[in-house]
């Protein structure tokens, strides 16, 4: 996140055009999702932090992980809106118009094979988890605190940071992520989303997680 690591947080531009993920994810959804939904989380997070100078050099991760040290008056606002910024930045970076190389023999693919018995099994399990989110939330592939790949769900704008899990990839299953194109049919959105997963980013996240969690040491 570099220059966007602390207050005032900025709305990071999409790393591709709004229509780049067509026909899988439509331009109108991307414009609303990025500019309006994420934009609002960024503004509300900055509003909440405005009068708390002691928090202005905290990173987003610190605000979310050490939320018990954030003054109670703004804690909920920081968790909701900071989580919204954190999750959406990861989500948008984890998509790409580049075709995923399905036979890519990266470290993540090997780990998925070992953990789930192949990519198809992983995909089925991930999709079922994403279908099982009741209401609004996310489905994640993480490296958990035991250095194992794990699929898990979080509600609303909760992150996986309190679980000491390191995010590899995630799908936003709030209705705003898919309703315009897919109406109520979340399954179609999940199938479409798999076509625009940024495999290179997921591989890089995975390698970073292995390194930062000192797995294998």
Give residues in contact with Mn ion (CB under 5 A): 172, 174
**Who contacts 142 (Cβ-Cβ below 8 Å, separation ≥6)?**
149, 150, 151, 152, 160, 163, 165, 166, 167, 168, 209
Residue (45 or 112) nearer to Mn ion, CB: 45
Q: Please, what is the minimum distance in Å from the beta carbon of residue 41 to Mn ion?
A: 9
Q: Please, what is the minimum distance in Å from the beta carbon of residue 138 to Mn ion?
A: 9
CA within 13 Å, CB half, 208: 12
Residue (144 or 153) nearer to Mn ion, CB: 153
Q: Please, what is the minimum distance in Å from the beta carbon of residue 210 to Mn ion?
A: 28
Residue (116 or 174) nearer to Mn ion, CB: 174
Give me the residue whose beta carbon is nearest to Mn ion. Answer: 172
SS3 of residue 95 by DSSP: strand
Look at residues 28, 31, 36, 35 and name the one whose alpha carbon lies nearest to residue 182: 28
Q: Please, what is the minimum distance in Å from the beta carbon of residue 160 to Mn ion?
A: 16
Rounded CA gap, 76 and 79, in Å?
5
Residue (119 or 194) nearer to Mn ion, CB: 194
Q: Which two tokens stand for residue 54?
A: 């002691």
Q: Please, what is the minimum distance in Å from the beta carbon of residue 176 to Mn ion?
A: 6
Q: CB neighbours (10 Å) of residue 55? A: 19
Residue (65 or 179) nearer to Mn ion, CB: 179
Q: Please, what is the minimum distance in Å from the beta carbon of residue 174 to Mn ion?
A: 5
Residue (26 or 172) nearer to Mn ion, CB: 172
**Who contacts 37 (Cβ-Cβ below 8 Å, separation ≥6)?**
84, 88, 176
DSSP string, 110-168: HHHHHHHSSHHHHHHHHHHHHHT--SSEEEEEEE-TTS-EEEEEEETT--SGGGT-EEE
């Amino acid at each position: 996140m570099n220059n966007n690591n602390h207050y005032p947080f900025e709305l990071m531009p999409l790393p591709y055009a709004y229509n780049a993920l067509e026909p899988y994810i439509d331009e109108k959804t991307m414009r609303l999702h990025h500019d309006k939904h994420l934009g609002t989380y960024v503004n509300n997070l900055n509003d909440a932090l405005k009068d708390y100078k002691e928090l202005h050099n905290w990173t987003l991760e610190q605000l979310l992980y050490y939320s018990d040290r954030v003054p109670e008056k703004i804690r909920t606002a920081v968790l909701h809106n900071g989580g919204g910024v954190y999750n959406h930045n990861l989500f948008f970076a984890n998509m790409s118009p580049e075709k995923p190389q399905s036979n890519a023999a990266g470290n993540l693919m090997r780990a998925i094979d070992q953990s789930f018995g192949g990519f198809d099994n992983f995909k089925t399990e991930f999709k079922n988890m994403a279908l099982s989110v009741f209401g609004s939330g996310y489905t994640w592939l993480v490296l958990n605190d035991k250095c194992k790949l794990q699929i898990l769900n979080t509600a609303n704008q909760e992150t996986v940071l309190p679980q000491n899990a390191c995010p590899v990839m995630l799908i936003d299953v709030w209705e705003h992520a898919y309703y315009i194109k897919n109406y109520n049919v979340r399954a179609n959105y999940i199938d479409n989303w798999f076509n625009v997963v940024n495999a290179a980013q997921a591989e890089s996240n995975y390698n970073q997680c292995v390194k930062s969690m000192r797995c294998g040491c």
